Every structure is written in structure tokens, then in C-alpha cells.
Chain A
């Protein structure tokens, strides 16, 4: 049931075909988990707040650095040295005080993974390290929670919507961490924001129950040429360590 404030706030999107009050109410009663709150997770979380998710949990350890400011648009220069997740939460709370924002000043790890995923209706993976990404994937498979996997490099981005039990999981697609990946990589902030919006939209559609989520597909963007592709992924691997069929 929407409040008068909800109806006034979301008037423009309530008229989107297929969305309506039912979709808005689903967002209002849902919790999104976003890990981490950098160039991808920041603008993604802002769009989830704009859309009207009832609760957003932000997961990120570490303080804001000057070289974050080309892409981390929830931040401010005067906040350098402050906890990044607290800064992000402050920006979201100022934008939408009626939304519950929880800031977790830690990264996704074995000790907090199960609890974080258990409290979420949907998880957005924006982490730079494959150890975190695989852990998020494993927990989402265990808990049967949808996972929107977002990534970027230079002028490119990818979004993979994952629905455990139905689509290939991240470990089906990439069975191991790539040995050549480096934590520090090139990217333009507008690219991270672009990829973030695609990820946010896939999650909004999934939770609100309208449109078509690109499950089983990899959405690829090449901003250098403005080419958008959808790669149809192979089915789940029966021998996947994470989501495969149990041994007889």
C-alpha cells in the first residue's frame, strides 16, 4: 500500500506501463544489498533510492581517496579521508530520508556473507576483487537470491543477471579467478555510471516484476563505439562447484 508521499514522489514512474502501484509497492517493501559503493555501486545505489527501494544496505570498507573522484559520484572532495560507505549513506539519506539506508564499513567476506545476503531481497555485485564476487555468487546461490553482477574496464561494461537454479551462476561462467586481473584498472566515470544504470534497471525490473530481465545473458556495452550486445550464455554447468548438481 502506497502512502500519499509515495504517490507524490513516484508519480512520474507510476505511469510506466507494467510498473504501476503494484511495482512501486514491491520496491517499497524490498531490501537491496549493494557491494561495493565505488564507481559502479554508488550511482547504482542512487538509482535504487530514486526508484524507491524501502531499504538499501551498502557494503564497503575503506576511506575516500582523491583518485576515487573521477567516478564515485556520491562523494565530495571535502570528504577525502572519511569512510566511503558512511559518505554514500549520508548522500542517500539526504536525497531520500524516508528510505532506510544501512552502512556496513566492511567488505563482503566469509564472516558476514551469509547474514548480509539473508537480509536482502536482491544483491548487486559491484566489487573489484574476484574473491568477493565469487563469495557473493556462492551465498546468493545458497540463499536462492537474485544477483545482478556488474563490471567494467576502460570503456566497456558488463551486466549479468543471475537467478540461482535457473540461470548459469558466476562460477558456471568463470570457474576460477582470472590470473591477470589487477585491482587497479582504467575506467572513465561515465562508463561506470552507464553500467550502473543498466544493473539498477535489471534489478528494478526483477523486484517490481515487469519488463524482461536478461536472465541467462551477458549484457555487454562498448562505450567507445556505443555498441550494446547481449550474449546468450550456455546453460548452467552440471559440474559447477557452486550451483551444479550434487554428486550421486
Chain B
């Protein structure tokens, strides 16, 4: 199935795009899609998404079809259309 990955805030700049479509299996974990995205984008994107130990940053908000996903080890699931990665932003 095709899943759209959306990158919000500073992640869009780091990825050089605000979204991309990837092929995924419903059994793939959300984390595996995030990890693959980070490897494709590399550098700044990877550092925003993963900490120095390779764990997902606690500041990263991940949503699957409009629902926050806290445990990224869960399967993507059937019929998921999009996964959104949102780093925190602020005012000014």
C-alpha cells in the first residue's frame, strides 16, 4: 500500500520537501517508516528525529491518519493513508 509521509515545521526544510509517498506493508512498524525516512533525508532531519542513542526523540509528535501514535513500534496497519511527523514549534 502507499502511505504519504508528511513533514511539518523544521522537518520539511530538513527533508527538502513537505511530504513524500512510500510503499509500506501493513505489518511494517511506524518506527520503521520513520527510520527509513530519516535515512533517506540524513543529516539534520535524522538528528531532529532521533537522539544520539538512536532512539526517537521525545519531542517528536507522530500522527497516523489524525491520531497521535505514542508507541512507534506498533504496525502501520491496514488502510492507513498518511503518517505525519511534527516537531514542536513556538510563538514569536
Residues of chain A at the chain B interface (Cβ within 8 Å): 36, 38-41, 125-130, 133, 150-154, 156, 158, 173-181, 183, 185, 187, 192, 218, 220, 222, 224, 229-234
Contacts and interface: CB of A to CB of B under 8 A. Distances in A.
Contacts of A158: 86, 89
Interface of B: 8-10, 12-13, 18, 44, 47-48, 57-59, 61, 63, 66-68, 70, 84, 86-92
B67 A232 contact: yes
Given A173-B61, A180-B48, A224-B18, A36 B91 contact: yes
Contacts of B9: 153-154, 156
A152 B59 contact: no
Nearest to A237: B70
Nearest to A39: B92
Given A176-B59, A180-B48, A220-B8, A233 B91 contact: no
A7 B44 CA distance: 55
Contact of A229 (B66, B87, B91, B92): B66
Contacts of B70: 234
Given A127-B92, A151-B88, A154-B9, 7 more contacts: A38-B92, A150-B91, A156-B8, A178-B48, A180-B87, A218-B61, A231-B67
A175 B58 contact: yes
Nearest to A227: B6
Contacts of B61: 173-174, 218, 231
A151 B86 contact: no
B89 A152 contact: yes
Given A173-B61, A175-B58, A230 B91 contact: no
Contacts of A154: 9, 12-13
B59 A174 contact: yes
B88 A130 contact: yes
Greatest chain A CB density within 10 A among B9, B10, B58 is at B9
Contact of A178 (B8, B44, B59, B92): B59
A180 B51 CA distance: 11
Contact of A153 (B10, B48, B59): B10
Nearest to B92: A128
Given A156-B8, A178-B87, A218-B61, A40 B92 contact: yes
A235 to B, nearest CB: 9
B88 A152 contact: no
Contacts of B10: 153, 180-181, 185
A202 to B, nearest CB: 15
B88 A178 contact: yes
A212 to B, nearest CB: 16
B84 to A, nearest CB: 7
B91 A126 contact: yes
Greatest chain A CB density within 10 A among B9, B44, B63, B89 is at B89
B72 to A, nearest CB: 12
A244 to B, nearest CB: 14
B3 to A, nearest CB: 16
